[in-house]
Amino acid sequence: MDLGPPPRRPLGGGDLPDPVWPSIEWPAGPIGPPTEPFRPGPTEEEERAVRRSSRRTLVWSLLGGVLLGTGVTLGVLGVLGLLDGNVVRVPRTTLAAAPTTTAPQDLPEGAVASITQVAETAIPSIVAVTAQIEGLPAGGSGVVYSEEGYLLTNHHVVEDATNLGVIFSDGITYGAEVVGTDPLTDIAVLRTNRPDLTPIRLGSEADLVIGERTVAVGNPLGLLGGPSVTSGILSAKGRSLQVTGDTVLYGLLQTDAPITRGSSGGALLDEEGKLIGITTAIGVSDVGAEGLGFAVPVDLAVGVAEDLIADGRVRHAMLGIQGSTATEQIDGAEIPLGVSVTSMLTGSAYEAGGGRLGDIIVAIDGDEVASIQELIADLRMKRAGDIVAVTALRNDEELTFPVELGEWQE
């Protein structure tokens, strides 16, 4: 079935059906002000009154425990109230100091670490990104990429942002500037001038196995006191998400490690403590987060980052076709076969390389392509000017021919 052209981008793909989740959210976004103003934490006098009242009851331990829990909750809400437009002031003594960190010991190659070891290794490489968007406080997370001061985060964290800064796990804040951003993959690179950086260790999507343990490290909700660590498993690979009306991300990793607003741009790590993705979106419904977190795979993020650092832009590849997933019927089953070429731009790279209307593309450089989503995800790893070997079915004959990829233009 022809799914039609992709929104605004003839990259060799068709439009996507609506996501199965009620909605997809960028986990970062402006953190404040919230829809409902947060209440401040109790004052010292209120806390003393609570303790006096509690001692006069026969169930002091139970009631005291309940009130203590309420106090902690209100204290957290009070901290978040700092981001409210009304600027709730919380005494500094109520805020936990950010933990100091020491340089972690690298884990042996191939070693399976405990979550504690993964956290110890990764936390010094994670930052909170602070900014203002249209005058409102906003923020997300970031990952130290290199000793030269380069940081990875999401495009949507810094888009239209001003007054950028980064807060390290030891509580020290530095200014930051945008080196470059790439809306197509939702990756951005920042730079800071802190000299004693601990770059994250890099993994690879090729080594990942569905069901293996994952650890997410970021700065959800802008909470003070350093990065948060959550764990889960790698739920799936190669996911495609329509995150806004005209923005589709391809080839994403899926995890059930809890992430939320403010986690965008943070790290998704494997069981060795290596970076495998940059967290970017979550699936939510009317009951809240659904354990569906998504990350841009590290191989894609690093390729984009290197281009941004070198040139300030990414020359994304383009076949110059539109198409849809082709299937074949075998014993009553409908099996994905490849990508049927339904139209071509005049003078497209695919046509110039020998491609024809009606071809069914089944592989790029020997890597099988079973769907339109897989084709676009594969193209995201290529660059304009690359010469790829395209394998296609034409009149029941399998052909392989070279195609010099064109450059995608928005």
The reply to whether 264 belongs to the active site is yes
Euclidean distance between CA atoms 374 and 368, whole angstroms: 9
Sign of the torsion formed by the C-alpha atoms of 191, 192, 194 and 200: negative
Looking at 84, 125, 169, 186, which residue is catalytic?
Answer: 186
**Residue 106's pLDDT band (boundaries 50, 70, 90)?**
low
**Residue 292's pLDDT band (boundaries 50, 70, 90)?**
confident
Q: Residue type at 169?
A: S
pLDDT of residue 354: 95
Largest CA distance in the chain: 88
The reply to whether 156 belongs to the active site is yes
- Quote the DSSP letter at residue 21: S
User: Is the pLDDT at 4 greater than 70, yes or no?
Assistant: no
Q: What is the DSSP string of 279-310?
A: EEEEEEETTEEEEEEEEEEHHHHHHHHHHHHH
The domain made up of 10-26+110-314 has a fold known as Thrombin, subunit H (2.40.10)
| Element of type H or E holding 278 | strand 275-285
The reply to whether 182 belongs to the active site is no
Q: What is the pLDDT of residues 11-33, one digit of tens each?
A: 333 333 333 333 555 554 434 33
Q: Where are the alpha helices (DSSP H) in 57-109?
A: 60-81
The answer to whether domain 317-407 has CATH 2.30.42.10 is yes
pLDDT of residue 267: 95
Euclidean distance between CA atoms 350 and 171, whole angstroms: 52
pLDDT of residue 136: 86
Please state, for a pLDDT cut of 70, what percent of the chain lies above it. 71
Q: What is the mean pLDDT of the chain?
A: 77
My answer on whether omega of the bond before 124 falls inside 30° of 0, hence cis, is: no
Q: What is the pLDDT of residues 377-396, one digit of tens each?
A: 999 999 999 999 999 999 98
Considering only 94-108, 313-327, 332-346, 356-370, which range has the smallest mean pLDDT?
Answer: 94-108
Looking at 264, 324, 348, 371, which residue is catalytic?
Answer: 264
Looking at 125, 155, 156, 348, which residue is catalytic?
Answer: 156
The model's pTM: 0.74
Residues of the chain with CATH 2.40.10.120: 10-26+110-314
252 with 185: CB under 8 angstroms? no
Residues of the chain with CATH 2.30.42.10: 317-407
